[in-house]
Amino acid sequence: MSDSRRSSGSARRAAGVRRASAQRSGQSSRPRAAQSPKGSSRTGKRAASAGGAARGTRAQSTGKRAASTRSAAARRQKKNFLNYPRAGAKNPWRWIPSLRMIAGALALMVLAGLGFAVWLYNDTDVPAPSDFALAQSSRVYYADGETEMGRFSEINRTEIPADEIPENIKQAVVASEDSTFYENRGISPRGIVRALINNLSGGARQGGSTITQQYVERYHTGTNTSYLGKMREMVMALKIDQELSKEEILARYLNTIYFGRGAYGVQEAAQAYFNKDAKDLSDAEAALLVAVIPAPSAYDPANDQDKAVSLWDRVITRQVNLEQMTPAEGDALEFPETAKPSSENELGGTKGYLLVEVRKELLEQGFTEEEIDTGGFTIISTIDKEMQKHSVDAVKDLPDDRPKNNRVGTMTLDPATGAIRAMYGGPDYVKQAQNDATQSRMQAGSIFKTFTLIAALQDGYPLDSLWQGNSPQTFDGGWEVNNFANASYGTVTLERATASSINTAYAQLNLEIGPQRTRDVAVELGLPEDTPGLTEDAANVLGSASPTVGEMAEVYATLAAGGVHRERYIVESVTRPDGSSRYEHEKEEKRAMDQDVATNATVALQGPPTVGSARKLEGIMGGRPVAGKTGTSEKMRSAWFVGFTPQLVTAVAMFQPGEDGSEQSLTPFGGEQYITGSTWPTSVWGQIMSRSLEGQEFIDFAPAVPLDNEIRSRSQPSPQPQPAQAPPPEEEEPSEEPTEEPTEEEPTEEEPTEEEPTEEPEPTDEPEPEPTEEPEPEPTEEQPSDPPGNGDKPGRGGGGRGKPTEKPTAEEQAAGIG
């Protein structure tokens, strides 16, 4: 190492020694009083050292004690911020909260309650009205739009505007249910406290409800007994009280509340208890309705007269106390007499069939069941109240010995529109739900000849075309056809064959034009293609098909309307509660046949009611022009008359099912030996139509017109018909239930009336049969008369064999009860 480096290191060390010496010197340079006493001896130094240590120890101990005291005080001060347990108090007082602590707790509770209330108010919305609150009965009216027929209801309620609710019931409900209604804000603090005390004491849970709260419960939320639910109900009451006027709240409440007897709302209650509208209630009646609100079933006068009187008096007293009436006025009121509770099913009786038919049509038009039951619709039907009464009375007026299982269906239509004006479906829908006018099916018998008549006119055969009317006749395939009583008529015109319902002549005609044509015309006029028994067989002319009364009324209405088909209907219009239109019938029509053809067919059908099987109508209808046709089916299992005037069409059918639903021959009653279309069905038709048309103008049918396609000559059907004679009177009388097998001679109840068989010119290639010992009568379709005829030949599906077989088929014999 060089000398210079060593010299430098020695210098740094020397400087360091000096700085350290200087620092020590500085530390010891204190005032003298603070310095240790001087001494040179070791004893003195030790004494000084000991004294300093002692002073340091004492000072350190004192500092620690002071710090510890300050820390404990701080801890005690932090722990007793609420002074609990109370400082300085002895047990047990130190554990009792101080006033400061109680006040603080109450303040916190109030703040928390206010915060919860603000949250609940903001979080609670007034919901839309419940489905229950909006549900109303849909009312069905007769065609006059004023007379109620019935109603569809899930809830029996009809809302009325606030201005139609009388003041007397508003005052009574306020006096009884909420005397502070017009002053409170939707809730009653006093009522809430009273309910709380009651609930805490173990009584039935109450909600301290005002009218507004009750309205909220019924109109928006439904019954709610939980405390939270009641709190929300009160909040909604506060909000609604700000949104709606008191009058509107009261009106909604009275339109919603249950009054007993199945009645919701004051309008239905007024009807149920007093058979009047709410606007017509007296003060005493209004008070009684209000009195039953708390427990309608228990307080109904019909169930507890004494309780009802007591509560009624309470309402009156409260009204007097609120000065709604004077004491003298209150004393003058008498307890009102109420109507008996109605236990009748809404569908009971004959009107049930009408209501069900209305509902069925509404469903077909796109309505839902729920909509019908709760929509509050005003439904105007097409049913004429007076015509309906005439239809019901006509069936009720049948003789008392009529069998219990004898059933009748009727329907009356307006051919100009297709509107159903009256319908008899049975005596009581509740006891017999099947509608005999629209559901029950019966073999048609000779009323089906009308379709063959129309087809013949369309194919060019005029009314004066000639046909062989002798009986029996056998056609290709062995089909043997007989006339009623096996009577022969010789050669007859088409018009005469229609008037006398000659089976053999019509069998020839059907074979000539083709049975398919008869079927096609029936369908064109409105008969459903799937009608049971509607075939293309030759026997279809004798009525082997089984339609309903309503279907035959509709197809004959097409003829009455000059060939224009209109579907029958029963609902005219549907209006919503607000007065807007929900549905209105739109007329749909189509031409089913030429008008001239319809005119000539109508001319031919005037024969049966004038000179044929239904000629008794001449007297019943007072000479009013009538067209129509009788019909009697296989073994007299059904009997018909379908006829019309220019204004109305009515179809009537009678049948008799067995206990197991099987088809039975009609049991004679009312002095008739046989029940055929010309007997009671014609009588019922005449009573309905003569009374329904009373006072209306006599309108003549149009006369026959020449058709452009008429054929004046025709080929004779093959085989040649076999002439036959009327049976002699000494032959065996028919049994009460005719056999299915045709006999060569069918006896009659009486001898035919004495009329010449050749009243009209009958040119023919065949010679007429020689007369018998007695003059050959001109029999009609039915058993002639005095009394008038008995319909078509029993046992032959309208008078003849159904098919070219040895026996009628089961299909022909079927009555088709549907």
Q: How far apart are the first and last CA of the chain?
A: 141
Asked whether 173 and 293 are in contact (CB, 8 A), the reply is: yes
Backbone torsions φ then ψ of 471, nearest 5 degrees: -140, 145
177 is catalytic: yes
Out of 446, 488, 692, 785, the active site residue is: 446
3-state secondary structure (DSSP) of residue 655: strand
Asked whether 614 and 781 are in contact (CB, 8 A), the reply is: no
Neighbours of 445 (CB within 10 A): 33
Distance of CA 800 to the CA centre of its chain: 45
* Distance, CA of 308 to CA of 32 (rounded, Å): 116
Distance of CA 481 to the CA centre of its chain: 50
Distance of CA 237 to the CA centre of its chain: 35
Asked whether 639 and 675 are in contact (CB, 8 A), the reply is: yes
Written as six digits, the tokens of 544 are: 């082997």
Beta bridge partners of 492: 467
Cis peptide leading into residue 515 (ω within 30°): no
* Distance, CA of 119 to CA of 117 (rounded, Å): 5
480 sits in which H/E element: strand 479-481
Q: What does R_g of the chain's alpha carbons equal in angstroms?
A: 52
Asked whether 211 and 177 are in contact (CB, 8 A), the reply is: yes
* Distance, CA of 535 to CA of 249 (rounded, Å): 66
Written as six digits, the tokens of 48 are: 């000084």
Give per-residue burial for 626-642: e unless 16+ CB within 10 Å, then b.
Answer: bbbbbbbbbbbbbbbbb
Written as six digits, the tokens of 752 are: 């035919």
DSSP letter for each residue of 318-374: HHHHTTSS-HHHHHH--PPP-PPPP---TT-STHHHHHHHHHHHHHHTT--HHHHHH
Neighbours of 400 (CB within 10 A): 6
3-state secondary structure (DSSP) of residue 585: coil
Cis peptide leading into residue 734 (ω within 30°): no
Written as six digits, the tokens of 656 are: 């008799």
Asked whether 280 and 289 are in contact (CB, 8 A), the reply is: no
The vertex-119 CA angle with 116 and 124, nearest 5°, equals: 120
DSSP-derived pairing of the beta strands 491-493 and 466-468: antiparallel
- Tell me which amino acid residue 499 is: A
DSSP letter for each residue of 467-481: EE--S-EEETTTEEE
In 31-126, the DSSP E strands lie at none
* Distance, CA of 375 to CA of 575 (rounded, Å): 10
* Distance, CA of 618 to CA of 643 (rounded, Å): 13
DSSP letter for each residue of 389-406: HHHHHHHHTS-TT--TT-
Out of 159, 177, 480, 812, the active site residue is: 177
Written as six digits, the tokens of 803 are: 């098919």
* Distance, CA of 567 to CA of 415 (rounded, Å): 10
User: For tokens 């009573």, what's the residue?
Assistant: 687
446 is catalytic: yes
199 sits in which H/E element: helix 189-200
* Distance, CA of 61 to CA of 383 (rounded, Å): 118
* Distance, CA of 674 to CA of 393 (rounded, Å): 23
Cis peptide leading into residue 787 (ω within 30°): yes
In the chain, count of helices (H) and strands (E)? 27, 18
- Residues annotated as catalytic are 177, 446
